[in-house]
Chain A
Amino acid sequence: MSRIGVFVCHCGENISRTVDVERVAAHAATLPGVACATEYKYMCSDPGQTLLKKAISEQRLTHVVVAACSPRMHERTFRKAVEGAGLNPYLCEMANIREHCSWVHEDREEATAKACDIVGMMVERTKKNRVLPAITVPVTKRSLVIGGGIAGIQAALDIADAGHEVVLVEREPSIGGHMAQLSETFPTLDCSQCIMTPKMVDVANHPKITLYTYSEIELVEGYIGNFQVTVRKRARSVNERTCTGCGVCMTKCPQKKIPNKFDQNIGMRTAIYVPFPQAVPNTPVIDRENCTKFKTGKCGVCQKVCGPGAVDFEQQDTLIVEAVGAIVVATGFDLYSISEKPKGSPIKGYGEFGHGKIPDVIDGMTFERLASASGPTGGKIVRPSDGREPKQIVFIQCIGSRAREKGISYCSKVCCMYTAKHTMLYHHKVHDGQAYVFFMDARTPGKSYDEFWRRSIEEEEAVYIRGMVSRLYQKGDKIVVMGSDIAVGVQVEIEADMVVLATAVQPQQGADLLAQKLGISYDKYNFYSEAHAKLRPVECATAGIFLAGACQGPKDIPETVSQASAAAAKVMTLFSKDRLEREPIVARVREAGCVGCFACKKVCAYGAVEEKEIRDRQGNLLRVVASVNPGVCAGCGTCQATCPSKCVELDGYTDEQIVAMIEAL
């Protein structure tokens, strides 16, 4: 007979406000097999856990049910506590009476009745719980970092400095990401490239870092501690080993008018190119779509002029398989393009702002390139249309962000600050110019951030107008900006020379596809989801995968760097052990009943089911049955639902446990 202890948590008032916890405990006490039932204000607190442990030893409990928050929140906490008291952790279950009950129902009667049911259901389930011995798996102490922006670079350097090998994969020809594109950074106005490029060089020179640029993740297999990642290294058409980076090929390439994505397409590059002079690696790439040799078969100038003979038109994509134990995802962001609607995007366009049609309406990143000393204009702020210096410039904030009706409800977080920075950069470079900013709210939390924003108004003479712009249109060589100043309650019309739109921060294109390869979750905007919004902000729900930077949500540089270091610390924690304990939620085959139809093998996505021969003592084959490799099994249980005779059973989710729950209702 089981002696179950039921512990009902008040969660301060989070549960007890709508659920009569005393009644729930009293109800639980009446259930067969329940030895004791009690309630406590904070079960997860130290006294709460002590109470639990004490009850286990004093009441000789065999199983524990904690009726509190979601198991996703505290199952680990309580299983650990139970283990501390000498019980197998898998003899403890949680009844979710907070997220699934007290927080979603107002009626106290109804909520209490439901909580009683949930507890009853979990009591019946727990009775059928079995001792599950821990399963340990080896840990491959190498890490994969996806994305070579500041987040990926920071994470890679931290992990590598701790002595572990890192594989860094970047989609573009160079690492650096968006931070390499920025001119100056807020709130200190130090030059972005000056602080970024040394880190990039560190990555290139680090003996523990293997860098794959111009490469993408093709396939991810395995699980925490034991991932196999296939990287597609796209054909660069230049041999990285022999290329010296002299750059002669680029000076001789006849194709010189290709818009450079790194310069937001306002600067031009050649067909064989590095995106920017400080690129790491400093090995050019041939853009096959625009290369005359690839288009027509004639040319080949780069190959002729290349001293070391590094240009290789025959190069093919290569697939490299890397074994790693942990993955840091740092794929960053992209700016919402208002000129073209991304494919399949739920976001409605901003046609009214004329971006893409009016050449002097640009986005924030383009402004960065204009202001950058290494940019296409050498740091001169000029109009893309005619190269004149804009004397009146209008910045419009929240383009895409905080606009539910347009499809994005979140705040992009960095725009208030970078627009303030833009007004300063503009004022420093165009002394007689005037900057206007249309804004909804100025959001400036962060160290020295508000001071910085105030400075743009008080010292750098930017005029902030609270209100949104309704329309932009070209009039002669001016752009008329029509908006309202809601602080004063008047319509405003400004004839501007240039308009800069603070477009929303969005995840990279294809972020969802990568998430599907990794098996991690993402929200409706394709930002990756952390395991817990507050307590596990850098971990994915999928074990062994960590998040860094703007791929998880809009972030500024210091925040990104902090998260990257945090992710690196998590990886190092994982690597601090030689073997890793994994949840023993795996399938097992009851060989006596297995008829060897291998339906389980057919549905197993992990290849965890093997065919096992059963032989008699003389070695004669008797029959072939299914067998599950517990190291490979991920614990989904699809095999069990498929098995006609239920001879494969998923520990922790057995038919007995589930049927007990259904029957309790």
Chain B
Amino acid sequence: MHPEKNNSSAFEPKIIAFVCTWCTYAGADLAGTSRMQYPSNVRVLKFPCTGRIDPVFILKAFQQGADGVLVSGCHPGDCHYIAGNFHARRRFAAFRKLLEFVGVDLQRLQFSWVSAAEGGKWVDVVTDLTETVRALGPMTEFKELALEEQWSGALTTPELKEAYLQI
């Protein structure tokens, strides 16, 4: 399927999935019991509800070297906790706009609703994200940032220039 996979130097994306236990985790379980196949790149973190998923975790995942992040929970109306997914939906609608604005490619951040009955959808979502990220290549931004020690020193504003000249 992926001839490049056999090449040990080929890029294998690291995908971190934050999922709720009631719907998507169960959907992923169903994919397992149905013996569906999907790329092994994904690592699943279980949460009680998408409402528990803090945007900081997504940031943290990227900083830890994730090439793609998936957040998945119950369809609207199906939340085991009445409305956790509705709160999450708003939170992530805003957060992705922020990440986009600071220059994160949103193709690396996927949100989905996968119910306990949608093993097939889980497979599709994970496969799509893995392949999208594989095509994009490694997420280097945060990794490079982590290696940098300090500011470049470029005087980007008139005030800074002026302050510098006065030293």
A-to-B contact residues, CB < 8 Å: 70-73, 96, 98-101, 103-107, 110-111, 113-114, 117-118, 121, 512, 515-516, 519, 521-524, 529, 533, 541-542, 585, 603, 605-606, 634-638, 640-642, 650, 652-653, 655, 658-659, 661-663, 665
- Pick the residue among A111, A114, A524, A542 that contacts B43 (CB under 8 A): A114
For B88, list chain A residues within 8 Å (CB). 638, 641
Residues in B1-57 with C-beta less than 8 Å from chain A: 14, 16, 21-23, 25-26, 28-29, 31-33, 35-38, 40, 43-49, 51-55, 57
The answer to whether A72 touches B64 (Cβ under 8 A) is no
Interchain pairs with CB closer than 8 A, number: 152
The answer to whether B52 touches A99 (Cβ under 8 A) is no
The answer to whether B77 touches A637 (Cβ under 8 A) is no
Of the listed stretches B104-112, B115-123, B152-160, chain A binds B115-123
Answer yes or no: B83 CB below 8 A from chain A CBs: yes
Shortest Cβ gap from A217 to chain B (Å) = 15
Given contacts A521-B22, A529-B117, A661-B45, contact A640 B29 (CB under 8 A): no
For B53, list chain A residues within 8 Å (CB). 641
Answer yes or no: B129 CB below 8 A from chain A CBs: no
The answer to whether A121 touches B48 (Cβ under 8 A) is no
The answer to whether B116 touches A519 (Cβ under 8 A) is no
B-to-A contact residues, CB < 8 Å: 14, 16, 21-23, 25-26, 28-29, 31-33, 35-38, 40, 43-49, 51-55, 57, 60-61, 64-66, 77-84, 87-88, 91, 115-118, 123
- Pick the residue among A515, A523, A658, A665 that contacts B14 (CB under 8 A): A665
Which of A73, A104, A118, A659: most chain B Cβ within 10 A?
A104
Distance in angstroms between the alpha carbons of A635 and B20 in the assembled complex: 12
For B61, list chain A residues within 8 Å (CB). 662, 665
The answer to whether B48 touches A107 (Cβ under 8 A) is no
Closest to B6 in A: A107
The answer to whether A99 touches B28 (Cβ under 8 A) is yes
For A661, list chain B residues within 8 Å (CB). 45
Distance in angstroms between the alpha carbons of A634 and B49 in the assembled complex: 11
The answer to whether B32 touches A104 (Cβ under 8 A) is yes
The answer to whether B32 touches A523 (Cβ under 8 A) is no
For B117, list chain A residues within 8 Å (CB). 521-524, 529
For A605, list chain B residues within 8 Å (CB). 81-84
For B22, list chain A residues within 8 Å (CB). 521, 541
Of the A-B pairs whose beta carbons lie under 8 Å apart in the complex, a sample of 15, sorted by A's number, is A71-B46, A103-B33, A118-B44, A121-B45, A515-B78, A519-B82, A521-B116, A541-B80, A605-B83, A635-B48, A637-B52, A640-B54, A652-B48, A665-B14, A665-B64
Given contacts A521-B116, A541-B26, A634-B81, contact A603 B51 (CB under 8 A): yes
The answer to whether A72 touches B25 (Cβ under 8 A) is yes
The answer to whether B116 touches A603 (Cβ under 8 A) is no
The answer to whether B48 touches A585 (Cβ under 8 A) is yes
For B116, list chain A residues within 8 Å (CB). 521, 523, 529, 541
For B64, list chain A residues within 8 Å (CB). 662-663, 665
Distance in angstroms between the alpha carbons of A328 and B74 in the assembled complex: 23
Closest to A523 in B: B117
- Pick the residue among B28, B51, B83 that contacts A100 (CB under 8 A): B28
Distance in angstroms between the alpha carbons of A103 and B22 in the assembled complex: 20
Closest to B31 in A: A104
Given contacts A523-B117, A636-B49, A658-B57, contact A100 B82 (CB under 8 A): no
Distance in angstroms between the alpha carbons of A182 and B49 in the assembled complex: 44
For A105, list chain B residues within 8 Å (CB). 37-38, 40
Shortest Cβ gap from A624 to chain B (Å) = 23
Given contacts A70-B29, A636-B51, A638-B87, contact A111 B65 (CB under 8 A): no
Known interface pairs A73-B29, A523-B116; 18 further A-B residue pairs with C-beta atoms within 8 A, sorted by A's residue number? A70-B29, A72-B26, A100-B28, A104-B31, A114-B43, A117-B43, A603-B87, A634-B81, A635-B81, A636-B51, A636-B80, A636-B84, A638-B52, A642-B87, A650-B52, A653-B47, A662-B45, A662-B57
Given contacts A121-B43, A521-B117, contact A72 B29 (CB under 8 A): yes
Shortest Cβ gap from A633 to chain B (Å) = 10
Distance in angstroms between the alpha carbons of A102 and B10 in the assembled complex: 23
The answer to whether B52 touches A653 (Cβ under 8 A) is yes
The answer to whether B43 touches A637 (Cβ under 8 A) is no
Given contacts A529-B117, A655-B54, A662-B16, contact A103 B81 (CB under 8 A): no
The answer to whether B52 touches A640 (Cβ under 8 A) is yes
Closest to A533 in B: B33
The answer to whether B36 touches A104 (Cβ under 8 A) is yes
Distance in angstroms between the alpha carbons of A665 and B43 in the assembled complex: 8
Given contacts A100-B32, A104-B35, A106-B37, contact A659 B60 (CB under 8 A): yes
Distance in angstroms between the alpha carbons of A105 and B5 in the assembled complex: 14
For A113, list chain B residues within 8 Å (CB). 40
Given contacts A636-B48, A662-B61, contact A641 B91 (CB under 8 A): yes
Closest to B82 in A: A605
Closest to A585 in B: B48
Closest to A637 in B: B52
Distance in angstroms between the alpha carbons of A107 and B39 in the assembled complex: 10
